[in-house]
Amino acid sequence: MSARSGQPGKALSLGLKHLAYLIIAFIFVLPLWWAIVSSLRPNSAIFADIFPFTPKALLPAPFTLEAYTGIFERGFGLIIANTMLVALVTMAAGLIVNGAAGFAFAMFDFKGKKFILSAIIISFMLPFEAIALPLYTVTQQLGWLDNIAALIVPSVANGLAVFLFYQFFSQVPKDYAEAARLDGVSWIDILLRIYVPLSLPTCISAALLLFIFQWEAFLWPLLAMPSQQFKVIQVGMAAFQQQYQTIWNQLFAVSVITALIPIALLLPLQRYYVQGLAGAGIKG
Amino acid sequence: MASLSLSKVRKSFGETHIIHGVDLEIGNGEFVVFVGPSGCGKSTLLRMIAGLESVSDGTITIGGRDVTTLDPSERGVAMVFQSYALYPHMSVRDNIGFGLRMNGMPRAEVERKVAEAASALHLTELLDRKPKQLSGGQRQRVAIGRAIVRQPDVFLFDEPLSNLDAELRVQMRLEIARLHAELAATMIYVTHDQVEAMTLADKIVVLRAGRVEQSGTPLSLYDDPANLFVAGFIGSPRMNFMRARQDENGVIRLTDYGNAEVSLSLGSSPQLGRDLLLGIRPEHFGPNLPVRLSVMVDLVEHLGGASYAYAGSGSPHPLTLEMREGRNVARGTVLETGFDPARAFLFDATSGERIR
């Protein structure tokens, strides 16, 4: 009796739960969805169904790809290519530099190790705005302003990435390195052939970290590239808003592409990314 | 193959001294076991020989060559780690051949050497597996294979069997003994298990707190321990110690057993009034022997071939008696037993020195 009377109540509460999930999911997805929908409308119809609001506002109607063709005609393809170049070079160089630094901190004892390690940890806690000005001065004195090196070189060494590698490498049993040393394996081979294969999730986490860091950089490219000959994506996106008028559908198209590229990169590697970051905490 | 010698070898971490001047000669082809309780420095000493720990003072020579400051790879040693240290992302084949390949040996030759080692260790069918897919004993054999292919002068084993279950330990112990016989190589083996030490060693080195307490053949240590520590450490069940004193007439008497008289033939007489301990091994008790004792049995263990009677449990000096005949002794009964003073060892209770 009680079991039967319990059934409808249970179903109701399950229904309510899922309704709540749906609403929450909707709230989260709405901005991205609205950006996608708006990028697929003609500029004149962007705000058409919002005041007053009709459900049609959530559908890409009238449908057009003119915003996407428009941004590529205005050189957005080059901006993506620029950013990719900067981000990928930073990523590759950063993996080598930060991986080697993390390995050195994990493997060797040297004078001042604790101090340098603390400095590195503090370095990634500092907000970028705090070092932007001194960094600008150094870059200027090197004559690197408006040079792509100004975008890449300061971002290669990343405190968080060093720390990530250090954390992982110091958890790998020392026996591997010792066994290899007895076999006459050089330190560089110990790093590349034993530690790197064992730390693939950490490498992927660090790579994504470096990539996204560059992908999202706005303030520094704006400062370091004053003539705006070489534009990266965040700076380029801002320009879409200012030039003559705000072309909303194009701005949305740019935002969608800017958001989708890192997502496309992150999704297949997400498993490793989470594993790398989570593992760094638990095992320590 | 090579001989090895340690001369006044010391190791300190700042003010903490781990190894206090060890002198040791190890002959060509000898199987030497370092044994001692945990923290005695035996693993540190092995790692110093391997070159994984620096030497604070003294010299290490291998095959007449001073290797004290050489890099581990230049010493001609190979080591089997307690954890095996097999590279988890490599197959058995790559694990065994890794060191050779990294030293620039041609691929075909590496293949041949790996195949040779694998067949000697019955690993041929497992060559393509990853360490994760192997049992403990198989991993152990891979680790040994990795050492063999390098054809080192000296093999070092750091507690290699301590991660295996009891049955596998016995089996691997035999394999290591067989390997030593086949390769006739110099081997140094670290363990805290005195049974492993007794069964494997040509020479046992007993270490305590960074000092060599005694070194010698297993039987010489068993039959002629230099001090209380070695007497208690070597042998299972361990040697029994009974409190003793010398009376005014120079006679040694067992204070806990009705002042029973033990007539020992000693070269030097102990100092008067010192606390003494008389050591006697469990298997040397028996009926109808010159020194008579009656003990209250607390517990009896039957192992089949022998039985052990335990007496005086809880007291500072309990007794373990091995019985091969007349084994129907029950708990709580009084056992009349005895020993031959010729089998007994006398120690100074304070300094631990043997009095001969």
Q: Are the beta carbons of B211 and B36 closer than 8 angstroms? A: no
The closest alpha carbon to B311, from B292, B336, B287, belongs to B336
Q: Are residues A207 and A146 in the same domain?
A: yes
Nearest-5° angle of CA A168, CA A174, CA A179?
Answer: 130
Residue numbers in B near A173 (CB within 8 A): 83, 85
Q: Are residues A233 and A257 in the same domain?
A: yes
Q: Are residues A276 and A188 in the same domain?
A: yes
Q: Are residues A224 and A127 in the same domain?
A: yes
Number of domains in chain A: 2
Highest mean pLDDT among B78-92, B259-273, B316-330: B78-92
Q: Are residues A101 and A223 in the same domain?
A: yes
Of A122-131, A184-193, A263-272, B194-203, where does mean pLDDT reach its minimum? Answer: A263-272
Domains B4-232 and B294-337 share a fold: no
Q: Are residues A182 and A117 in the same domain?
A: yes
Q: What does the pLDDT read at residue A30?
A: 87
User: Looking at the partner chain, which of A173, A182, A198 has a beta carbon nearest the beta carbon of B89?
Assistant: A198
Residue numbers in B near A178 (CB within 8 A): 50, 52, 72, 79, 81, 85
Enter the CATH code of domain B4-232. 3.40.50.300
Asked if pLDDT for residue B96 goes beyond 90, the answer is yes
Q: What is the 3-state secondary structure (H, E, C) of chain A?
A: CHHHHHHHHHHHHHHHHHHHHHHHHHHHHHHHHHHHHHHCCCHHHCCCCCCCCCHHHHCCCCCCCHHHHHHHHCCHHHHHHHHHHHHHHHHHHHHHHHHHHHHHHHHCCCCCHHHHHHHHHHHCCCCHHHHHHHHHHHHHHCCCCCCHHHHHHHHHCCHHHHHHHHHHHHHCCHHHHHHHHHCCCCHHHHHHHHHHHHCHHHHHHHHHHHHHHHHCCCHHHHHHCCCCCCCCHHHHHHHHHHCCCCCHHHHHHHHHHHHHHHHHHHHHHHHHHHHHHHHHHHCC
User: Looking at the partner chain, which of B51, B71, B85 has a beta carbon nearest the beta carbon of A179?
Assistant: B85
Residue numbers in B near A202 (CB within 8 A): none
Q: Are residues A10 and A98 in the same domain?
A: no
* DSSP SS3 for B78: strand
Q: What does the pLDDT read at residue B126?
A: 93
> Which of A64, A88, A114 corresponds to the end of one domain?
A64
Pick the residue of B44, B70, B83 with the most A CBs within 10 A to test the interface with A by mutation: B83
Asked if pLDDT for residue A242 goes beyond 90, the answer is no
Whole-complex ipTM: 0.83
The closest alpha carbon to A232, from A116, A81, A117, belongs to A81
pLDDT band at A274 (very low <50, low <70, confident <90, very high): low
Q: Are residues A266 and A165 in the same domain?
A: yes
Enter the CATH code of domain B294-337. 2.40.50
Tens-digit pLDDT profile for residues A156-171: 999 999 999 999 999 8
Q: How far is B128 from chain A (nearest CA, A)?
A: 18
User: Looking at the partner chain, which of B73, B89, B98 has a beta carbon nearest the beta carbon of A181?
Assistant: B73
**In angstroms, rounded to a whole number, what is the distance separating the alpha carbons of residues B318 and B256?**
11
Chain B: residues touching A (Cβ < 8 Å): 50-52, 71-74, 77-79, 81, 83, 85, 87-89, 98-99, 102-103, 146, 150
Q: Are residues A101 and A45 in the same domain?
A: no
**Half-sphere exposure in the Cβ direction for A146 (13 Å, CA):** 5
Q: Are residues A92 and A7 in the same domain?
A: no
Q: What does the pLDDT read at residue A97?
A: 96
- Residues β-bridged to residue B320: B310
Tens-digit pLDDT profile for residues B341-352: 999 999 999 999
What residue ranges do the domains of chain B occupy? 4-232, 240-284+341-356, 294-337
CATH topology of domain B240-284+341-356: OB fold (Dihydrolipoamide Acetyltransferase, E2P) (2.40.50)
pLDDT band at A220 (very low <50, low <70, confident <90, very high): very high
Q: Are residues A137 and A40 in the same domain?
A: no
Judged by CB atoms closer than 8 Å, whether chains meet at A173 and B88 is answered as: no
Tell me which of A247 and B202 has the higher pLDDT.
B202
Q: Are the beta carbons of B222 and B345 closer than 8 angstroms? A: no
Range of the domain at A262: 69-282
> Which of A42, A64, A86 corresponds to the end of one domain?
A64
Of all residues in chain B, the percent with pLDDT exceeding 90 is: 64
Residue numbers in A near B79 (CB within 8 A): 178-179, 182
| CATH number, domain with residue A91 | 1.10.3720.10
Tens-digit pLDDT profile for residues B189-210: 999 988 999 999 999 999 999 9
* DSSP SS3 for B204: strand
Q: Are the beta carbons of B49 and B156 closer than 8 angstroms? A: yes
> Which of A37, A64, A91 corresponds to the end of one domain?
A64
Q: Are residues A33 and A118 in the same domain?
A: no
Interface of A with B in 82-141 (CB under 8 A): none
Pick the residue of A172, A174, A176, A183 with the most B CBs within 10 A to test the interface with B by mutation: A183
Tens-digit pLDDT profile for residues A61-88: 788 888 899 888 888 899 999 999 999 9
